[in-house]
Structure 1
Amino acid sequence: MRALTQDSYGLDALAVRDVPEPLPAKGQVLVRVNAAGVNPYDWHFAAGQPMIARPMMGGLGGPRPQVRGADLSGVVAAVGPGVTAFAPGDEVFGFGAAGTFAERAVANATRIAHRPVDLTHIEAAALPMAAVTALQFLRAAGLTAGQRVMITGAGGGIGHFAVQIAAAWGAHVTGVCSTRNVAMVRELGASDVIDYTREDVTAGEPRFDVVFTNAGRYPLRALGRVVVPGGLVLTNDGSKAGLFGSMPDLLAAPLVSRFRPYRAMSVSASENAEDLAALARMVDGGVLLPIVSATYPLDRAVEAIRQVAGAGHARGKLVVTLS
């Protein structure tokens, strides 16, 4: 089968090659991949950034698994021992276990769910990592109806899902994005939209109960100026490269906030079928819709990864198509 693989770190090492088809182990299924979402996560593994994380990415010599991609949507081709929740022919979406930019991919049965009936495979492939991250961050914040939340990077992958989820929960959402995404973010449910190219979002009196910041555009101290006393800053930033990347900022945020009138925290998102099913219900209920701005065939998947590298400026989600 064809897959996007690499033997060493660096985007130039990525290439589509023929590799053996994987076999589902106990508790796994084999999925015929129709589409695979693209995430900054894929860039981190491909580039080996931050460098301090390379031992956890598979080693100093190159990433493991060698096939890139984490999200998928497709059709179950076979099931491994012990799998009862899925059968061949089922249409599923979720997280792959060993790379998804491939014609076939294995996935743990506990990390996939049935595809929402109202979504195409391309749209469903855009959901897993970004939408689960948005859901888990907002849940950790204890967001409730009537609270005022500001979401930066509101036109991007995680951000555009966070806007919709927060609005569905009854929050008053202020989305922060570039000029080209203002109309989209408003249509997704934001009550107010700030164009960061024209207005300083960190100016003014404290007015937000929660700030959910993506991509590290604003320092914590600046965001703290617009958070009410006792409010919360959710920090999520995978934009930096180098030896440590964004890790020092994320680790320092809770410590710094001890000396401020607000709290700061990050969340380590987890892959699970329960949250995927919750997202599917939101889709079926008409309150969540993935925005896919571009699709790429497997032969051009590297272009998609470059689009989400570092600070990235992809609108909504990018998806790699395989059929």
Structure 2
Amino acid sequence: MKAIVSDGGFGTRFEDVPDPLPRDDEILVEVQATSINRADLLIASKQPRGTQLGIDFVGTVLTTAADGSGPARGQRVVGLAKNNSWSEVVAVSTDRVATLPGELDAPAGAVLPVAGLTALYALERAGSLLGRSLLVTGANGGVGHLAVQLAAASGADVIAQIRENGRQFALDELPDASRISIEAADSAGAAPIDVLLDSVGGAVTAGAFARIRKGGNAVFFGNTVREDLHLRPDWGHARPGVRIEWLYLLDEITRRDVPADLSVLVRLAETRRLRPHIGGSFAWSDIDKALRSILDREVGGKVVLTL
């Protein structure tokens, strides 16, 4: 079968690879759509040439699991693969998939696994959000635009911080838009916040940190600028009780009921209470163009590949 593999740095190429051999708890899925996460780019840049790539996918079950678990043959599913979803067929554990209703198209579904679960789990770490002020950095990114919507639906007063490509954040199209305000990353005199969800890093994170009230929360799940974080020596004394956590999705899912959590996101998207934004949709033969659109920050939301 054909698969997209790493070719050094951020480069990729198509290669013939062996068909996957499923374990007893795995299904075989014919992939219809997948999406690109920044983590995929980092993995590609660090792995040897020829390494398969990709986590998110939507597809149709070709073969059921030998142990009887999971969805039936012919059902559409959405899930997380082990860095091999940019391929024609993937073998995936039944505890990493959820069924996908016909009302939700494959590209929209492919946005949900990594970005949606990261947003969902980060907000859970923050605790009750009702009436609290919450800042999302990188709010027009893959995780950020979903976190903004989920936080607003949970009763938070959300500040969506946009560093660039802000024009692609269509606030008036979002549910609970009255609870969301947009802010530039370099805003002066910015208001204090109760909760910070950050994936940017560097000076943006330091500025957001300085706004957290005593007893607030900060949840980190990325560092897209790849810069160190520098804080004043007295930062902690000025903000006692602030809880700081790091969320790494691939570790988090080892302790989570992924099918149930994915199903929550699917239901929200199906009923339009969560609206995944596809900034770019490419045939998988155009993988180089798709990767370039992310590296050059040409798009907001997520980039999707269709097979």
**Counterpart-to-counterpart distance in 1, 2:183 and 2:202:** 13
Q: Find the counterpart in structure 1 of residue 173 from structure 2.
A: 187
* 1:45 paired to 2:31: no
Asked if the contact 1:16/1:298 (under 8 Å) is kept, the reply is no
State the one-letter code of the partner of 1:175.
A
Q: Find the counterpart in structure 1 of residue 30 from structure 2.
A: 32
Of 86, 90, 93, which aligns to 2:78? 93
Shift in Å at residue 205 of structure 1? 4.3
Q: Find the counterpart in structure 2 of residue 319 from structure 1.
A: 304
**Counterpart-to-counterpart distance in 2, 1:93 and 1:182:** 26
TM-score, scaled relative to structure 2: 0.86
For residues 123-147 of structure 1, the C-alpha deviation after alignment (integer angstroms, 9 at most, x for no partner) is 1011110010000000001132111
**Counterpart-to-counterpart distance in 2, 1:116 and 1:202:** 45
Asked if the contact 2:26/2:91 (under 8 Å) is kept, the reply is yes
Q: Find the counterpart in structure 2 of residue 120 from structure 1.
A: 105
Q: Find the counterpart in structure 2 of residue 232 from structure 1.
A: 217
Moved more, 33-42 or 166-175: 166-175
Shift in Å at residue 158 of structure 1? 0.4
Of 275, 282, 290, which aligns to 1:289? 275
* 1:72 paired to 2:57: yes
Which consecutive residues of structure 2, in runs of 5 or more, have no partner in the other structure?
A: none
**Counterpart-to-counterpart distance in 2, 1:256 and 1:44:** 34
TM-score, scaled relative to structure 1: 0.82
Q: Find the counterpart in structure 1 of residue 120 from structure 2.
A: 135
For residues 70-97 of structure 1, the C-alpha deviation after alignment (integer angstroms, 9 at most, x for no partner) is 1000100112321332111010001113
CA distance change for structure 1 residues 205 and 291 in 2, over 3 Å: closer, same or farther?
Answer: closer
Q: Helix, strand or coil: the match of 1:306? A: helix
**Counterpart-to-counterpart distance in 1, 2:198 and 2:93:** 31
Q: Find the counterpart in structure 2 of residue 263 from structure 1.
A: 243
Shift in Å at residue 220 of structure 1? 4.0
Q: Find the counterpart in structure 2 of residue 53 from structure 1.
A: none
Q: Find the counterpart in structure 1 of residue 290 from structure 2.
A: 304
For residues 272-292 of structure 1, the C-alpha deviation after alignment (integer angstroms, 9 at most, x for no partner) is 222111212222343112111
Asked if the contact 1:93/1:125 (under 8 Å) is kept, the reply is yes
Asked if the contact 1:40/1:305 (under 8 Å) is kept, the reply is no
**Counterpart-to-counterpart distance in 1, 2:38 and 2:123:** 20
Which consecutive residues of structure 1, in runs of 5 or more, have no partner in the other structure?
A: 49-56
* 1:203 paired to 2:189: yes
Q: Find the counterpart in structure 2 of residue 15 from structure 1.
A: 13
Asked if the contact 1:28/1:83 (under 8 Å) is kept, the reply is no
State the one-letter code of the partner of 2:245.
M
State the one-letter code of the partner of 1:5.
V
State the one-letter code of the partner of 1:40.
R
CA distance change for structure 1 residues 194 and 22 in 2, over 3 Å: closer, same or farther?
Answer: same
Q: Find the counterpart in structure 1 of residue 130 from structure 2.
A: 145
State the one-letter code of the partner of 1:265.
E
CA distance change for structure 1 residues 98 and 225 in 2, over 3 Å: closer, same or farther?
Answer: closer
For residues 114-165 of structure 1, the C-alpha deviation after alignment (integer angstroms, 9 at most, x for no partner) is 0144310111011110010000000001132111111121111001100110
State the one-letter code of the partner of 2:259.
A
CA distance change for structure 1 residues 10 and 300 in 2, over 3 Å: closer, same or farther?
Answer: same
Identity %: 27
**Counterpart-to-counterpart distance in 2, 1:258 and 1:265:** 15
Q: Find the counterpart in structure 2 of residue 2 from structure 1.
A: 2
Asked if the contact 2:165/2:298 (under 8 Å) is kept, the reply is no
RMSD: 2.6
Shift in Å at residue 308 of structure 1? 3.0
**Counterpart-to-counterpart distance in 2, 1:264 and 1:107:** 33
Of 103, 121, 140, which aligns to 1:155? 140
Q: Find the counterpart in structure 2 of residue 54 from structure 1.
A: none
**Counterpart-to-counterpart distance in 1, 2:267 and 2:274:** 9
